[in-house]
Amino acid sequence: MNHNTITAILLLAVITSCSCQKKTTSGKDIPQAPVSILPKDTTWQLDSARSDEFVSLDANKWSHDPLWYTTTEDLAFNPANTEVDSGLANLIIKKEPYNGMQYTAGCMKSKFEIGGDSYTEIRAKMVNSPANVCAAIWLGDEPVDANNPNIEIDIQETKDPINAPHRVNSSLLTWPKPGNGNTVPGSKLFYISKGLDLDFHLYGLERRNGKLSFYLDGINYWVWDASATPEFVTQLRPLILSLEGHAGTPVADYLPASCQIDWVRVYHVK
């Protein structure tokens, strides 16, 4: 075997050993950061004060305390279940007794608020589907009289992760006060070929020109006209990343597990 052949074989081995993932010292797979995919019909500017690459858990931008509801079905929010490690925010689900429940969950609520003329992008990987846990990416807050109609925008919820791990579930809600319950003026299901727990995806929401536009990996899968309730476009709301009980009881054999967030990026029209 001549020198050129040996060199070619060694080069091929190096290329083959590389992948789109990198390893930390703990052995975790960390995604190489691709570029954002922004709506193309305007010029966007990154709002760094409302964005996070998760170098650390920034207490100026996030709370990881329980939400205004401290439990969700079989889960109880525990601040210890939210951590940032090696460039990823992790929302962790565990089988353990806490606050009257048998499972604990992580959540994050932004201390900044997002309004209109914005594009919000979250790069995330859903919880391993056999664990049967709902991971949620949403804009919302505790309903109060001053913020009627108290809009909620669910960008993504894995409500049936075992049977439909490849489904994006987006919905719109209002929580009018005084009164009980909510309204659901719109919802959309969008399917891809593989489970959303198998890789990271870009979840995007554009709030502009009286409309909501929802994106997955740059694909605009839903446009909703907000003329009947313009607050869906204009109302300031924090971003919430949480594990919820909407899928039913988790499967303990697959726990602990986590939803991983690579980044949150908020853009405004330039």
Burial class (CB in 10 A: 0-12, 13-18, 19+), 257: buried
Q: What are phi and psi of 119, to 5 degrees?
A: -130, 120
Whether 173 is in a domain gets the answer yes
For residue 263, the model assigns a pLDDT of: 97
For the chain, give the longest Cα–Cα distance. Answer: 82
In a domain, 246, yes or no: yes
**Is 215's pLDDT higher than 70?**
yes
For position 30, what pLDDT does the model report?
Answer: 44
Residue 4, domain member (yes or no): no
> Is the model's pLDDT at 3 over the cut of 90?
no
Which has more confidence, 43 or 18?
Answer: 43
Model pLDDT, residue 177: 87
- Report the alpha-carbon distance of residue 218 to residue 209 in Å, rounded: 19
pLDDT digits (tens, 9 = 90+) for 88-124: 999 999 999 999 999 999 999 999 999 999 999 999 9
Q: Is 11 part of any domain?
A: no
Is the pLDDT assigned to residue 26 strictly greater than 80? no
For the domain that residue 147 is a member of, what is the CATH number?
2.60.120.200
Six-digit token string for 100: 């009257």
Residue 13 predicted with pLDDT over 90: no
Pair 243, 131: CB distance under 8 Å: no
Q: What does the alpha-carbon distance between residue 127 and residue 113 come to, in Å, rounded to a whole number? A: 26
Contact 241, 122 (CB under 8 A): yes
**For residue 242, pLDDT beyond 80:** yes
Whether the Cβ atoms of residue 22 and residue 30 lie closer than 8 Å to each other: yes
Q: Region 196-215: what's the mean pLDDT?
A: 98
pLDDT tier, 137 (very low <50, low <70, confident <90, very high otherwise): very high
The pLDDT, as a whole number, for residue 156 is 98
Structure confidence by residue, pLDDT tens digits, 33-84? 578 999 999 999 999 999 999 999 999 999 999 999 999 999 999 999 999 9
pLDDT level of residue 23 (50, 70, 90 thresholds): very low
**Lowest mean pLDDT segment, chosen from 30-44, 140-154, 237-251:** 30-44
The pLDDT of residue 34 is: 72
Whether the predicted pLDDT of 9 surpasses 50: no
Query: What confidence score (pLDDT) does residue 20 get?
Result: 39
* Residue 146 counted as domain residue: yes
Can you give the residue range of the structural domain that contains 265?
Answer: 34-269
Domain assignment present for residue 89? The answer is: yes
Burial of 160 (0-12, 13-18, 19+ CB in 10 A): middle
Residue 16 maps to a domain: no
Which of 267, 260, 240 has its CA nearest to residue 85? Answer: 260
Q: Is the pLDDT of residue 206 over 70?
A: yes
What is the average pLDDT value for the chain, to the nearest integer? 90
CA-to-CA dists, residue 136 to 143, 152, 154, 226, angstroms? 18, 12, 7, 22
How many domains does the chain fold into? Answer: 1
In this prediction, residue 265 carries a pLDDT of 98
Calpha distance 89→262 (Å, rounded): 7
Tens-digit pLDDT profile for residues 157-199: 999 999 999 999 999 999 998 777 899 999 999 999 999 999 9
pLDDT score at 33: 52
In a domain, 14, yes or no: no
pLDDT surpassing 60 at residue 8: no
